[in-house]
């Protein structure tokens, strides 16, 4: 009995001691927050675990489409699909992402992802057939989406470009003008004078020294959608030009975006000059200025350092809040401008600090988006920093593939050096992940540009092995085989493309191959012309009408068949889309002289002169 009592006493003492110890022990540290699944997927991607990243992205997509995790995961899945040659799936994901982003409350996330998604939609649009293009255009409505103030200005410009591209493809001049009007593109602009014959030295001369022409002598810029072309100078040399436009807006904040390969200055209502580009360096090609404008008419003045030849530029006025788009009007019209206060606005690329605290996944995502946006804007200095950050992850295959793509078109290096740099990065990308069909495809293109068709053939076959359903490697393989003189093998590769994309089945059934991309139809038509297969060539030419362009061939065919009225109508339609094509204007004048009403040819020739 005594031993039992002693045991109970000991147990009680131990229990009390444990209780006292628990009471006096310091509190446990709070558990760290559970990492976002989307960011975990990007961390896996940066560390070379592509399969795990794909599974994490898929698991997070079951949530709300506008949640941060779902947005990150959809962007990650689209990136993987893009790199693996799954064009249709990537296009669907990027389009869905763009539709979901305006509702995302995380502004840095919107700023980072939207420009990449919009540019990728524009790039992938031509990789799918006409039927898929129609579905994407109807679902995305790029012209309307470009007016969303929740999206950064770079994404809105990319969406406006997509709307412009769709209208040009349909050869619809009215739709092209509507895109420009609804998306805030400048459609009316004049050259009003000159600052001197030295483009860069005279750019900052005082306004009192400028040679301003009388209004009746102002020279209109040629407008085609969101493109403006300044006419050639009288002596064909470069000079510092003064361009002027006017815009009517409601009261509020606006982003004024200027696109120009060169140096320029922008002023609103005679306010301070905002610089664009540099005299001694490259880029940026795009710049944006945030201005607060009162309701009414405002004057925009652009000084450009124009070299010899034609000067092409773009100008957008994008509202910072929902409402009516800015409307460009004739700057010669009466109306007192309302004072504005322009100032520079930061580019919409994500900053490293925005995602710096989100771990490896956040830093990798930030570097990827920053490099992409800097490349699209032509911001060479910022691009160099972003590329260095991307290369810090030697297993980040998608990031290295992006580095290689950017290096191919680096304007700061000679072409051979740029190709060598691209080759190194692309080889590193496929070394980290051999399933990246697009990196293999880019490698094959680099080798073909470098006159190495044998290496191009090998890389194209690896791309085809990585993505058997993707058509670009087969088309590139046909080109590389033809470059080596292996015509039979090249024809076999083209036949495989025609079979894979459904062209042969459609032509055999007498239908239009609407599921085939335009590049495939164009390649097959070129083969038919070489073989003198007239009936097949005509079928493929009809199929190409939905792709836009192809005008020269259609005009030649109409003239060869004696269909002069058809040829004249084609030329007139083309000049509405692209009014600066002097060769088309000359052809039209000659055809009118041959068969048109008297005097029309003289009118066309006079306009051309």
362-398 pLDDT per residue, tens: 889 989 999 999 999 988 877 888 888 888 889 999 9
Please, are residues 237 and 308 in contact by the beta-carbon 8 Å criterion?
Answer: yes
pLDDT at 191 over 60: yes
Confidence of residue 15 (pLDDT cuts 50, 70, 90): very low
Report which of residues 229 and 546 the model is more confident about: 229
pLDDT at 506 over 70: yes
Mean pLDDT of all residues in 114-134: 91
Confidence of residue 607 (pLDDT cuts 50, 70, 90): low
Confidence of residue 533 (pLDDT cuts 50, 70, 90): confident
The pLDDT score that the predictor gives to residue 87 is 93
Handedness of CA 467, 469, 472, 474 (dihedral sign): positive
DSSP-derived 3-state class of residue 238: coil
Confidence of residue 152 (pLDDT cuts 50, 70, 90): very high
CA distance 598 to 570: 20
pLDDT at 42 over 60: yes
Name the pTM for this structure. 0.85
Cis peptide leading into 606, omega within 30 of 0? no
pLDDT at 478 over 60: yes
Q: In Å, what is the CA distance from 37 to each residue of 205, 395, 439, 586?
A: 56, 20, 27, 61
Please, are residues 225 and 160 in contact by the beta-carbon 8 Å criterion?
Answer: no
pLDDT at 327 over 70: yes
pLDDT at 338 over 60: no
CA distance 534 to 511: 17
- Range scoring the smallest mean pLDDT among 268-272, 321-325, 444-448: 321-325
Mean pLDDT of all residues in 582-598: 72
- Range scoring the smallest mean pLDDT among 18-22, 93-97, 401-405, 574-578: 18-22
The pLDDT score that the predictor gives to residue 597 is 62
């Amino acid at each position: 009995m005594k031993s039992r009592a002693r045991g109970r006493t000991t147990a009680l003492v131990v229990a009390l001691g444990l209780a006292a110890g628990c009471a006096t022990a310091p509190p446990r540290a709070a558990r760290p927050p559970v990492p976002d699944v989307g960011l975990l997927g990007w961390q896996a991607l940066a560390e070379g675990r592509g399969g795990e990243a794909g599974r994490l992205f898929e698991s997070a997509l079951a949530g709300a489409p506008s949640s941060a995790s779902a947005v990150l995961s959809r962007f990650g899945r689209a990136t993987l699909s893009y790199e693996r040659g799954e064009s249709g799936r990537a296009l669907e994901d990027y389009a869905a992402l763009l539709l979901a982003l305006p509702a995302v409350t995380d502004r840095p996330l919107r700023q980072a992802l939207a420009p990449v998604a919009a540019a990728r939609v524009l790039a992938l649009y031509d990789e799918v057939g006409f039927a898929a293009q129609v579905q994407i255009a109807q679902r995305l409505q790029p012209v309307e989406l470009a007016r969303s103030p929740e999206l950064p200005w770079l994404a809105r410009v990319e969406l406006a470009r997509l709307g412009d591209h769709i209208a040009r493809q349909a050869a619809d001049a009215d739709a092209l003008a509507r895109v420009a009007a609804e998306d805030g593109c400048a459609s009316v602009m004049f050259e009003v004078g000159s600052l001197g014959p030295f483009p860069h030295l005279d750019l900052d001369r005082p306004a009192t020294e400028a040679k301003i022409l009388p209004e009746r002598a102002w020279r209109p810029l040629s407008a085609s959608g969101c493109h403006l072309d300044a006419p050639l100078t009288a002596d064909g040399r470069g000079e510092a030009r003064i361009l002027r436009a006017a815009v009517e807006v409601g009261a509020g904040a606006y982003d004024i975006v200027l696109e120009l390969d060169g140096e320029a200055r922008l002023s609103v209502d005679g306010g301070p000059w905002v610089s664009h580009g540099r005299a001694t360096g490259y880029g940026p090609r795009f710049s944006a200025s945030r201005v607060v404008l009162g309701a009414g008419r405002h004057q925009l003045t652009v000084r450009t350092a124009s070299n010899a030849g034609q000067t092409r530029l773009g100008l957008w006025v994008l509202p910072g809040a929902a409402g009516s788009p800015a409307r460009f009007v004739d700057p010669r019209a009466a109306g007192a401008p309302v004072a504005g206060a322009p100032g520079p606005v930061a580019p919409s690329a994500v900053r490293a600090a925005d995602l710096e605290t989100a771990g490896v996944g956040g830093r990798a995502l930030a570097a990827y988006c920053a490099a992409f946006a800097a490349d699209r804007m032509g911001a060479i200095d910022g691009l160099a920093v972003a590329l260095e950050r991307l290369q810090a992850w030697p297993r980040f295959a998608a990031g290295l593939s992006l580095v290689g793509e950017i290096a191919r078109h680096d304007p700061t290096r000679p072409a051979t050096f740029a190709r060598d740099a691209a080759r190194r990065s692309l080889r590193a990308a496929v070394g980290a992940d051999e399933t990246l069909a697009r990196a293999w495809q880019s490698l094959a293109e680099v080798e073909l540009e470098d006159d190495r068709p044998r290496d191009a053939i090998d890389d194209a076959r690896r791309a085809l092995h990585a993505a058997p359903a993707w058509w670009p490697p087969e088309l590139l393989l046909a080109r590389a085989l033809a470059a080596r003189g292996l015509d039979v093998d090249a024809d076999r590769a083209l036949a495989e493309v025609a079979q894979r994309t459904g062209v042969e089945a459609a032509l055999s059934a007498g239908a239009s191959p609407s599921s085939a991309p335009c590049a495939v139809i164009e390649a097959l038509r070129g083969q038919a012309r070489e073989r003198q297969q007239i009936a097949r060539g005509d079928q493929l030419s009809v199929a190409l009408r939905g792709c836009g362009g192809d005008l020269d061939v259609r005009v030649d065919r109409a003239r060869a068949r004696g269909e002069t009225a058809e040829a004249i109508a084609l030329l007139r339609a083309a000049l509405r889309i692209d009014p600066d094509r002097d060769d088309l204007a000359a052809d039209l004048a000659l055809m009118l002289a041959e068969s048109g009403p008297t005097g029309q040819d003289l009118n066309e020739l006079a306009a051309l002169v």
